[in-house]
Structure 1
Amino acid sequence: MADRDLIHNYLNELAQRLPAGTVEELADGLEETFQHHLRSGLSPADAAHAAIAEFGPPAQVTTAFALQSPGRRTAIALLATAPVFAALWGTTLITTQAWHWPVPPAAAAVFGTTLLIVAVTLLSVARSKDPRTARLAGPASVALILLDLGMLAIATATPAVTWPMALAIAASLARTALAARNLPRVFA
């Protein structure tokens, strides 16, 4: 029975670090590996130790899942494209003299603060080795979609569309569509 206790304790430790569905999949794989070792002639205790050794320490398993999580991949993709969006929208704001746009200063401050919070959140997700942190990519993606939609609404209300604005609008539409399509994986 010590073999089952070893496996049970190992899975409990993983359950504290990983989503339940992930732990269930790992439990199935761990059981298969345990059974394989039993069939190869190991004692139950040795089979349990061998199966756990193959899977690796809980911290290593957790890190592997965090590094491959959809939330982390999304955060990295959004951060990698951020300089392009900053250049496109920055050029747009300068060439259209955005300081004359009918945007209340409080709204601009909320927009900027929200953008900063989203950027910090995505950076935290991208650098984290904790799968629980990767879940923050979902709300950050939603906030970024809303920020893009806000910029699109404001930009399309301006009297003249410049070529930088046209590029920025196209890029924001593409990012919004891709981020929205990715949301189910990020929130899963």
Structure 2
Amino acid sequence: MDPSVSDRIDSYLDAVTVVLPAGRRARAAIRAELADGLACAVEARVGRGAAPGAAAAAALAEFGPPAVVARAFARELLAASTHRTGRGLLLGGPLVGLLWVLAMPGAGRSWPVGPSTPTISQRRTPRSMRACAACLSG
């Protein structure tokens, strides 16, 4: 491919990928996909007799402005990211809840309820705490 054509395509790809809200690997994959599509479009036009510069310009015009292409990819990336986040929360939520229960002091023991539950004045507590509890309770 002609160096000037290659430079125009690289500039276009840079303009698309620089604004994508994605990681390096996703941007590299999108860039490779776009580069392959543009190369095929340019080769097809050159095969039909167009000059390389005109073929590149026509292919870039067919793909559309970089901002429009980037927005289309961004919508797809957002949908995939939302799906991954939802799946992570759905699968990870019960695990986090279980870990919280296990991390509680006294996990695994039954919760004392009813008349057998000792009040603060019946527990073995320092005298000052019993006096505070008596003041607070009325």
Q: Which TM-score band applies after superposition, normalised by the shorter structure? A: 0.5 to 0.7
Q: Partner of 2:24 in structure 1? A: none
Higher helix content, 1 or 2? 1
**Residue equivalent to 1:24:** 32
Counterpart selection for 1:67 from 70, 75, 85: 75
Correspondence for 2:122: none
Please list the CA deviations of residues 129-184 of structure 1 after superposition, one character each: whole Å capped at 9, or x if unmatched: xxxxxxxx4xx7545543332346679x998xxxxxxxxxxxxxxxxxxxxxxxxx
Paired amino acid for 1:150 = V
- Give aligned-pair identity as a percent: 34
Aligned residue among 5, 8, 14 for 1:6: 8
Q: CA RMSD in A?
A: 3.3
Does structure 1 retain, via aligned residues, the 8 Å contact 2:13–2:31?
Answer: yes
Residues matched between the structures, number: 98
Larger radius of gyration: 2
Give the one of 86, 95, 99 matched to 1:149.
Answer: 95
Question: Aligned in 2, Cα 1:57/1:143: closer, same or farther, shift over 3 Å?
Answer: same
* Higher RCO (C-alpha 8 Å, min separation 6): 1
Gaps of 5+ in 1: 79-136, 160-188
- Mapping for residues 74-89 of structure 1, pairs under 5 Å: 75=82
Aligned-residue offset at 1:54:
1.4
CA distance in 1, matches of 2:34, 2:19: 13
- Superposed CA deviations along residues 99-158 of structure 1, whole A, max 9, x for unmatched, are xxxxxxxxxxxxxxxxxxxxxxxxxxxxxxxxxxxxxx4xx7545543332346679x99
Q: Are the aligned partners of 2:16 and 2:66 in contact in 1 as well (CA < 8 Å)?
A: yes
Q: What's the counterpart of residue 37 of structure 1?
A: 45
How far residue 29 of structure 1 moved from its aligned partner, in angstroms, is 1.0
TM-score where L is the length of structure 2: 0.54
Q: For 1:4 and 1:150, locate their aligned partners in 2 and report how far apart those are by CA, in whole Å.
A: 51
Provide the C-alpha distance between the structure 1 equivalents of 2:65 and 2:52, rounded to a whole number of angstroms: 19
Q: Is the 8 A contact 2:17 2:70 kept in 1?
A: no
